[in-house]
Structure 1
Amino acid sequence: MQSDAMTETTSAQTTAPTAATEPPPTVWPTLSATNARALIDFLVTAFGFQEIVAHADGGVIQHAELAWPEGGGVMLGQDRNDPEHVWKMPPGSFGAYVVTSTPDAIHDRAVAAGAEIVVALVDTDYGARNFAARDPEGNLWSFGTYRGHPY
Structure 2
Amino acid sequence: MTDIQAPAPQVWPSLWANDARALIRFLVEAFGFEETVVYSDGDVIQHCQLDWPPGGGVMLGSARDDPGSPWQLTPGTFGAYVVTDDVDALHTRAVAAGAEILRPPFDTDYGSRDFMARDPEGNLWSFGTYRGEPRKRN
Q: Please state which band the TM-score falls in when normalised by the shorter chain.
A: over 0.9
Residue 146 of structure 1 is matched in structure 2 by 130
- Which position in structure 1 is the counterpart of 2:107? 123
Count of residues in correspondence between the two structures: 133
Distance (whole Å) between structure 2 residues aligned to residue 126 and residue 20 of structure 1: 29
Residue deviations 1:23-47 (CA, integer Å, cap 9, x gap): 1110000000001100000000000
The aligned counterpart of 1:48 is 32
Superposition CA RMSD, Å: 1.1
* Residue of structure 2 equivalent to 1:78: 62
Q: Which residue of 2 aligns with 1:13?
A: none
Given residue 117 of structure 2, which amino acid in structure 1 is its aligned partner?
A
Give the distance between the partners of 1:82 and 1:143, measured in 2 at CA. Answer: 33
Partners of 1:89 and 1:66 in 2: CA distance: 18
Unmatched 5+ stretches in structure 2 = none
Structure 2 counterpart of 1:28, one-letter code: W
TM score, norm. by length of structure 2: 0.93
In structure 1, runs of 5+ residues without a counterpart are 1-18
| Matched ranges for 1:24-39 at <5 A | 24-39=8-23
2:118 aligned partner:
134
- Shift of residue 60, structure 1, vs aligned partner: 1.4
Aligned mates of 1:66, 1:27 — CA distance in 2: 13
TM-score (norm 1): 0.85
1:112 aligns to 2:87 (yes or no): no
Does residue 57 in structure 1 map to residue 47 in structure 2?
no
Give the deviation of 1:20 after TM superposition.
5.8
Match of 1:88 in 2: 72
Identical aligned pairs, as a percentage?
A: 65
> Could you tell which deviates more after superposition, 69-78 or 19-28?
19-28
Deviation at 1:87, TM superposition (A): 1.2
Greater than 6 Å deviation, 4+ residue runs: none
Question: What is the alpha-carbon distance in structure 1 between the residues aligned to residue 67 and residue 51 of structure 2?
Answer: 30
